[in-house]
Amino acid sequence: MEHTQYTTIPDAKYNTISSHPLLRFGGPDYANPDVVYTPNGTEAIAAKSFSPFPLKKDGNRINDPVSDRFYSSIYDDKYLFIIAQSTGPDACTASELAILGFIDNMARYVSLLEFEILLENLQTIFYFSIQNTISSTQDAARRIQRSVAKSHDRIMSKEGINATTEILCGIFGMLDKEVDNKWAFVACGVGHCKAFIVSKDTASVVDVTKNNYLYKYDSPQGSIGPVQDNAPKLDNMRLFCHFCNPGDIVILTTQGVFKNFHPQHVCIVVYFS
Residue 252 within a domain = yes
pLDDT value of position 214:
53
Residue 149 within a domain = yes
> For the chain, what's the residue count?
273
Residue among 133, 113, 125, 121 at smallest CA distance from 17 = 133
Q: What is the CATH number of the domain that holds 143?
A: 3.60.40.10
Q: Residue 197: pLDDT above 80? A: yes
Local confidence band at 98 (pLDDT 50, 70, 90 cut-offs): very high
Structure-derived torsion over alpha carbons of residues 14, 28, 53, 83, reported in degrees to the nearest 10? 30
- CA of 64: how far to CAs of 69, 88, 125, 227, in Å? 14, 11, 21, 22
pLDDT value of position 105:
81
Calpha distance 272→270 (Å, rounded): 6
Residue 4 within a domain = no
Calpha distance 215→102 (Å, rounded): 28
Calpha distance 240→181 (Å, rounded): 20
Mean pLDDT calculated for residue range 182-201: 90
Using a 10 angstrom Cβ sphere, with 0-12 exposed, 13-18 middle and 19 or more buried, the burial of residue 117 is: exposed
How many domains does the chain divide into?
A: 1
Give the model confidence (pLDDT) of 34-47 as tens digits: 777 766 777 777 77
Residue 34 within a domain = yes
Give the model confidence (pLDDT) of 10-69 as tens digits: 888 888 656 566 677 777 765 565 777 766 777 777 777 766 677 777 777 666 667 888
For residue 235, count other CB atoms closer than 10 A to its CB: 15
Residue 7 within a domain = no
Give the model confidence (pLDDT) of 165-191 as tens digits: 999 999 988 888 766 768 999 999 998
Amino acid (one-letter) located at 55: L
pLDDT value of position 15:
80
Are the C-beta atoms of 239 and 148 separated by less than 8 Å? no
Residue 17 within a domain = no
Are the C-beta atoms of 220 and 189 separated by less than 8 Å? no
The reported pTM is 0.80
CB within 8 Å of 17: residues ≥ 6 apart: 75, 76, 77, 78, 130, 131, 132, 173
pLDDT value of position 255:
79
Looking from the CA of 36 toward its CB, the CA atoms found within 13 Å total 19
Q: Residue 111: pLDDT above 50? A: no
Amino acid (one-letter) located at 160: G
Comparison of pLDDT for 47 and 214, the residue scoring more:
47
Mean pLDDT calculated for residue range 106-110: 61
**Structural domain that includes position 209:** 23-272
Q: How many helices (H) and strands (E) does the chain have?
A: 4, 13
Residue 84 within a domain = yes
Rg (CA), the chain: 18
